Structures are given as C-alpha cells and as structure tokens.
C-alpha cells in the first residue's frame, strides 16, 4: 500500500504541474478542457494565467511536502486541496459548462485526491 500511496500522490502533484504548464502555454485549449471556454487574448487571459500559477504551485508544494515534511503533511495537504476540484465542479456548472466535465473530471478528481489522502494516512 505504501508504494501505491506515494505513487498516486506524486502523480497527482505532477498532474498539477502539467495543468499549470498548460494554462500558461496553451491557455485556450486548457480552458476548454476545464469546461468553461475562454479567450486567452481577451479579458480572461489574466485569469487563465492565475489558474496556471495556482495549479503549478499546488504541484510544487505537494512534491516539497512529500519530500521534506513527510507523508502525514502530504495527506493533510491532499485533504485541503480536494476542495479546489469540488469548487471547480460548481464553477463549471454555474457557467453553463458540460455536466460530464463538471462531474467526470472535477468531481472525480476530488474523489481521487481524497482517496490519495486516505492512502497516505494509512501509510
């Protein structure tokens, strides 16, 4: 179970880094994949950059916690981070995005993050 817990945590942290990269360097397709399309060259451009910074920073903090603070700190971090995809679900729904994206991506991500936290607590 230890290998699974660490592997899932690292993969989730790396995925956050990937999302951050994508929102910085491919903002229009990243926004469409998020479920609320936006024009990266219009007013939304700054918000897409902020989202990229947020996601990338979460990935870095998660990796740093796992490397330097330990598994329990990473577990609590994952519990707290799960709030973000849950709220992302609401954001997509409020702005007319597809329910499949809201629940199939964002809500499912929150569940996976909470499973990761549970595995980390069990280590």
pLDDT at 37: 85
Q: Are 44 and 31 in contact (CB under 8 A)?
A: yes
Q: What gap in Å lies between CA 85 and CA 66, rounded to an integer?
A: 21
Q: What gap in Å lies between CA 11 and CA 15, rounded to an integer?
A: 6
pLDDT at 98: 95
Percent over 70 (pLDDT), the chain: 99
* Residue 39 pLDDT greater than 80, yes or no: no
What pLDDT, in 10s, does the model give residues 5-38? 999 999 999 999 999 999 999 998 999 999 988 8
Q: What gap in Å lies between CA 21 and CA 89, rounded to an integer?
A: 21
pLDDT at 30: 92
Q: What gap in Å lies between CA 54 and CA 27, rounded to an integer?
A: 14
Please give the model's pTM, rounded to 2 decimal places: 0.92
């Amino acid at each position: 179970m230890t290998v699974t817990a660490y592997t899932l945590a690292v993969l989730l942290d790396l995925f956050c880094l990937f999302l951050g990269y994508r929102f910085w360097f491919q903002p229009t397709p990243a926004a469409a994949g998020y479920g609320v399309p936006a024009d990266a060259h219009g007013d939304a451009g700054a918000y897409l950059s902020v989202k990229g910074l947020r996601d990338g920073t979460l990935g870095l903090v998660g990796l740093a916690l796992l490397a330097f603070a330990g598994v329990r700190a990473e577990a609590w971090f994952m519990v707290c981070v799960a709030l973000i995809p849950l709220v992302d679900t609401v954001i997509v729904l409020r702005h007319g995005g597809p329910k499949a994206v809201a629940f199939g991506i964002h809500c499912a991500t929150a569940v996976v993050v909470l499973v990761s936290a549970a595995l980390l607590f069990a280590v």
